[in-house]
């Protein structure tokens, strides 16, 4: 195991391994990141490991969405009841909601473009980064994980896929809010009633305004954990390759491209 630490002696690093998780930069499609910000403000920034900004936008989305009744208006719109959708919207909150919603999309796109440029430079500089962290509160290390397992656990309960790959900050935040969404929407209560064959009661007990948060939450948890697992695996392979080359490869070893060894 190497003794590298990210002590800011290099200009750029591609990753950092800490007790609380693995933080890394890699090439991303800015349109996909912007799309997740449109689906739920904060998700795009959380994908980029911009956690404080992502958490702030996420909480803003939940609070202002509920106060403005945006989800409720969407439900009425899906039902074709446009007049009722206009009726339930609270314009005092809605006029605050729109600028922040647009900012989340724009800023996540802009940040992704910037981080892609930084990653290209960091990859060219190729400074060593730490791959093992051990302390009183836990242990984290680079290794390979199964991306399909990340999806599977995320579909059971959002956040478990991120726990599987030791993305602790994101995992705890996602799990906390999925509990809030389940409780406020009465989704699990409705599922219990469905198992008992009480379909009408299950429909009545649901709170659709809170229920509409869950699809985005599940989708993001599965997608982000899958992508993070793949990138984590790439990071592991690159770090392992560097270690083997530095410690076991002969300094005179060369691969002559296009020439056959006789």
pLDDT of residue 261: 55
Last residue of a domain, one of 116, 142, 168: 142
Q: How far apart are CA 226 and CA 31, in angstroms?
A: 18
* Residues 83, 149 within the same domain: no
Decide if 262 is inside a domain: no
* Residues 98, 83 within the same domain: yes
Closest CA to 12 of 113, 111, 128: 128
* Residues 128, 164 within the same domain: no
Q: How far apart are CA 190 and CA 174, in angstroms?
A: 22
| Run of H or E residues at 24 | strand 21-24
Decide if 257 is inside a domain: no
Decide if 149 is inside a domain: yes
Domain range for 173 is 145-235
Decide if 73 is inside a domain: yes
Decide if 185 is inside a domain: yes
Kindly report the number of other CB atoms within 10 A of residue 102's CB atom. Answer: 13
* Residues 57, 117 within the same domain: yes
pLDDT of residue 135: 85
* Residues 138, 153 within the same domain: no
* Residues 187, 209 within the same domain: yes
Decide if 189 is inside a domain: yes
Q: Which residues pair with 135 in a beta bridge?
A: 138
pLDDT averaged per 10 residues in sequence order, the chain, 262 residues? 60 86 92 96 94 95 94 88 87 90 96 95 86 87 93 96 93 96 94 89 90 94 96 91 82 68 54
Q: How many structural domains compose the chain?
A: 2
* Residues 226, 133 within the same domain: no
Decide if 244 is inside a domain: no
Decide if 83 is inside a domain: yes
pLDDT of residue 163: 94
């Amino acid at each position: 195991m190497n003794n590298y630490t990210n002590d800011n002696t290099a200009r750029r690093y591609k990753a950092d391994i800490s007790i609380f998780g693995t933080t890394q930069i890699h090439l991303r499609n800015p349109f996909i990141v912007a799309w997740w910000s449109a689906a739920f403000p904060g998700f795009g920034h959380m994908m980029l490991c911009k956690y404080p900004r992502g958490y702030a936008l996420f909480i803003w989305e939940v609070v202002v969405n509920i106060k403005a009744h945006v989800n409720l208006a969407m439900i009425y719109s899906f039902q074709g009841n446009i007049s009722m959708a206009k009726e339930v919207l609270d314009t005092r909150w809605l006029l605050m909601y729109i600028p922040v919603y647009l900012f989340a999309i724009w800023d996540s796109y802009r940040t992704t473009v910037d981080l892609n440029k930084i990653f290209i430079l960091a990859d060219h500089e190729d400074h060593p980064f730490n791959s093992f962290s051990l302390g009183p509160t836990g242990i984290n290390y680079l290794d390979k994980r199964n991306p399909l397992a990340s999806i599977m656990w995320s579909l059971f309960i959002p956040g478990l896929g991120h726990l599987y790959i030791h993305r602790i900050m994101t995992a705890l935040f996602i799990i906390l809010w999925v509990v809030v969404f389940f409780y406020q929407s009465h989704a699990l209560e409705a599922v219990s009633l469905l198992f008992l064959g009480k379909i009408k009661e299950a429909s009545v007990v649901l709170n659709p305004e809170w229920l509409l948060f869950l699809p985005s939450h599940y989708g993001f948890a599965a997608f982000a954990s899958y992508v993070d697992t793949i990138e984590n695996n790439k990071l592991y392979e690159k770090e392992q390759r560097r270690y083997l080359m530095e410690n076991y490869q002969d300094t005179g070893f060369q691969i002559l491209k296009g020439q056959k060894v006789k």
